[in-house]
Structures are given as structure tokens and as C-alpha cells.
Chain A
Amino acid sequence: MVKAVATFGVIAWILLGAAPAASAHMGEENVPAFTDIQEGIAILAGQPDLMDNAMDKVHDALDSNDQNGVDVALVRQAYAALRRGDGANALLLLEQSVGACPGAPVLNPQPPPRSPEPLTSPCPHPQHLQGLSRSAVGGGQETVFLVLAGVMIVVGLMLARRIR
């Protein structure tokens, strides 16, 4: 039996040990700054608590070899705002830096404009960039379903006991 368990262990160890080793991120400087900024905007608009992730994206944008269509001075201000923990201002600055509101999910970023258009007011945040929380169903159906559920549980338990 001990031999059997050892066989288990060895197989699992070999399989896990055969996994490839981790390697560092590479080639981030080749990602266009425009893409990094759009991703940073999406993070701040959708999940503002993940400020570190947004800061990484902004940092990548500043390091990018391709800063076409991005106002780098505004990106620097946004980075400073993020370092101060001011996500709202950083979001506004990032939107202004690319002259665009996030508008639609960034699945296939279009070629960036040659120079960003200035934004005069904050972008409205579209619904799809916000998460929906775990809120109860609510309304009249909530009561009906809860009563039905209670009846099913009680009847089910009674029947199970009776049948046994």
C-alpha cells in the first residue's frame, strides 16, 4: 500500500515538475502607448480599486516606443495623479491624453489618431464599463420565489424522512 501511495506521489511530482519555468514579461515597450492608455482607462472606469494595474499600464505607455496619438505630457500628469491615489483625476487626464472616451470595449484597438483631440468635459461612463453587483432579485417575484423555495425544502425533507 505504501508503495502504491509513493507511486501516486512520484507521478504527480513528475507531472508538476515537467511544467515550464516562468519567464519575465518581454516586449512591453513594443505595445503602442495608445493601447496601454485605453486599457488603463478601462481599468479605472470599470474597476477603480485596481489602481496599481492602471498605473502599470500608464507606466508602460510612458516607456512605449510608439507614442503616436498620445499626449505624453498629460499621461505624465495622470501618472502623478495615480501615485497620489487620485484615480478620478487620472482617468480624466488619460481620456484627454488620447482625446477619446472609452465608449466601447477595447477588443481590437483601431489605429490611433495622429494627434489627440482635446476633450473639454469628462467622459460619461457607459453602463457596460460598470460591473453589476450581487444584488437580490427584488420586487414581488422575490417573495413568491422565497415562499415556494421554503415550501419545497420543508416538503422535500418530510418526504425524504417518510420514504426512508
Chain B
Amino acid sequence: MTTVEAPPEAPRTRRQRLFAALDERLGLSGLQYPVPEHANKLAYSLGGLTLITFILMVVTGVYLTQFYNPTVGGAHSSVRSIITSVSFGKFVRGFHYWGAMAMIVLIGLHLLRVFVSGSFKRPREFNWVLGVVLAGITATLFFTGTVLKWDQESLEALEHNIELGKILGKFGFWFSPSFGGVSILTRLYVVHIAVLPLLFVLVVAAHMLLVKRHGMAPSPFRKEPEPEPTRPFTKHLAELGALSLVLVGVLTILAVLAPPPHGPAPVAGIEVTKPPWPMLWVYPVEDWVGVGGILWATVAIFLVLFLVPLVDRGPERDPRKRLPMMIAAGVVVLTIIAFIIYAAVQPVASHIGMG
């Protein structure tokens, strides 16, 4: 016996017809797959907000590149020109600066949320690794952006980078000022505006495909036996859009009222600044073990992050039942915060040449 499928209901209004036409060609209804209700909480929107911030960075970055001169002789004055002469230049630069800070905070909180809720556990271990890679790319974007503004802080950051290249020996050849035919500033510019954004897009695409493949991780706090209610993913996207409006509003206020300062033109051979706060946690490490401490501390943090799924591999997701892991993570986070505060109140110190 054969069954005859009922034809789909014909769209009635103009809006429905438009959606049907687009859906037929673009498969938009494919986005209406179910996601658990808890996915609509702010804590579960942090990854999406990080991606939105990245898009905002691309848009404002494209504007800034129209006026930025990525050469040693012209970079500082071109940034000054953006601040003082270019239409909306001061605002756009401020938005880019605060957006970069927001991206660092959002991706950090997203990693923390995934860790605490055990969302990295089987079968999502590889997606955790991709998330850590994205955090690394974000940190590198932040570092290269710091160098591009080419003031005293930038040059000192670059000099530290060159020192780290020397520690890496043959593997650090790219960071040598003598490598290539253009200055390292110009090469870092290419990395900042092309290489890293491209990598970010590729890795985030894989990250999202895996989220779609495995679905959102179940809430660690849900105890009810019946399955959690679901909502279409498009609702999650709509909420993300609403939160993005709030984010853009906050970044706009910060960009208008507190645009970033711009230091004096760089002078080689002196160390008179401290790094911006996201990189400040390595400053005390540098005090104690020299410039090499930056490399070792960064490698240590990322190695520990990569190893998380191997170390905490039991099926339990509830953070209250994973107390030792929570305590270990708390110690790491508090140590980083304590290092940042300690470095902020310490006087400026010279590190290059310490070893």
C-alpha cells in the first residue's frame, strides 16, 4: 500500500512567499533545527558574541586600513592622522580598540563557561581544542594590533617579540628584523589584517560545524528525567542579534567617552612602558625569569588548556561533582588576575637583555 504525501501548504502572504522563495534557493529552514532551551542564556551566547565582535573588528579594521601606513617611518604619524584628521577616525579607532578588549574578555569567559559546564567532554573534545586555537588566534590578533599603532608601547612589544624569536633559534627566523624584504612592522600588518583573520574564519567554521554535528552540550544542572524542551536555532540567532545590539551600544559609549591613548613616537633601546592589561599577566614572570618567561608561561597556559579533555575525561559534567578541577581552574584564573594587579602597581622595569 502506498501513502500519498500531502502537498506543503502554499504560502499565503507576500512575506511568506518571499521566505519560501528564498528558502527554496538558500535552504534557510535548515537553520530551524532544535536546540535545548538552556542555549538561550547569556552564558551560552558568549561564543556567538565573540564571533559578532570579530565581524565588528573586520568592519572597523577595513575602515582604519584606508588611512594606516604600515611602514616604520609612517605608521605613528598615520595613526595620529586617523585620530586627529580623519572623519570619524578617533571614534572608529576607539571602537576597534574596545572591541578587541571585548573579544579577549568574551572568548575567555566562553572558554571558562565551556570548562565549568563540562561541555568539552566526549564527544566534543576536538571542538574544545579548536576553541583553544581560536583563543590563541585572538590573543595574537591583539598582540599584532598593539604593535601596529607604533608608539613606545608598540616598539617595546615588538622588541620583546624579536627577543622571543632569538630564543626560538632557527624556528624564530620569521621574527628576525632581517628576514624578508620589508620591515617586520609591515609583515606583522599583513599577518594582522589577512593571515590571522583568514585562519580565524576557517577555524570558526570548523568549530560551528562541530557544534551543529554534536548539538549543544546538555546542561550539567538539569536533573529532570524527561528531555529538555527545545527551541529553533533561529530563536537563538534572534537573541544573539538582540544581545549584539547591546554590545554595539556599550562599545560605542566606550569609544566615544574613553578612546584609547596614543603614546609618543617609539624610541629604540628603552623600556618605559608596560603592556596592555590582557598581556600584563606575563610581566611579573618576565621580572623573575627574563623575556623567555613570556614564551614559557604562554606555552604552559595553552598546553594546559589543550590537555583539559585528556585530564578531566570522566562523564560527569556537574561542576559541584568536579571540585578538584574547579579548584585547579580557580587557582589558575585567580593567579592570572593577581599577576595582572601586581604588574599594574609595580614600577616599569627593563627586561630585554635579562636572558
Q: Residues on A close to B: CB < 8 A?
A: 1-2, 4-5, 7-9, 11-12, 15-16, 18-26, 31, 35, 38-39, 42-43, 45-47, 50, 52-53, 57, 104-108, 127-137, 141-142, 145-146, 148-153, 155-157, 159-160, 163-164
Contact = CB atoms under 8 A, between A and B. Distances in A.
B258 A105 contact: no
Contacts of A131: 151, 261-264
B256 A149 contact: yes
B256 A142 contact: yes
A112 to B, nearest CB: 15
Nearest to A131: B263
Main SS at interface, chain A? helix
Contacts of B265: 46, 104-105, 128-129
Interface of B: 40, 72, 76-77, 80, 83, 88, 90-91, 94, 151-152, 167, 235, 238-239, 241-250, 252-253, 255-272, 285, 288-290, 292-293, 296-297, 299-300, 303-304, 307, 311-312, 314, 322, 324-325, 327-328, 347-348, 350, 353-355
Contact of B290 (A23, A134, A155): A23
A8 to B, nearest CB: 6
Q: Which of B264, B307, B312 has the most CB of A within 10 A?
A: B264
B76 A20 contact: no
Given A5-B327, A46-B264, A136-B258, A156 B245 contact: yes
A76 B336 CA distance: 43
Contact of B354 (A16, A22, A45, A146): A22
A22 to B, nearest CB: 5
Contacts of A35: 269
A137 B272 contact: no
